[in-house]
Amino acid sequence: MLWTIIVVLVVIWLVLWLLAHVASPLIHIIIIIAVILLVYNLLTGRGARV
């Protein structure tokens, strides 16, 4: 049982490590777009009214 957990964790770690190297530029682009949209909404005054 312990070996199964160890193997699953190592496999998950490897998959996430590989995805981080592939998806890292995509994540940064999405963050930049989100910040641009946030600033645009703040400047135009069409932000959500809570």
pLDDT tens, position by position, 1-50: 788 988 899 999 888 888 887 777 777 788 888 889 888 888 888 655 65
How confident is the model at residue 47, as a pLDDT?
A: 54
Q: Do 20 and 26 touch, CB atoms closer than 8 A?
A: no
How confident is the model at residue 12, as a pLDDT?
A: 92
How confident is the model at residue 49, as a pLDDT?
A: 60
How confident is the model at residue 11, as a pLDDT?
A: 92
Q: Do 47 and 41 touch, CB atoms closer than 8 A?
A: yes
Domain map (residue ranges) of the chain: 24-50
How confident is the model at residue 8, as a pLDDT?
A: 92
pTM metric for this prediction: 0.50
Single-letter amino acid, residue 36: I
**From CA 7, how far away is CA 13, in angstroms rounded?**
10
For residue 32, report the phi and psi dihedrals to the nearest 5 degrees: -65, -45
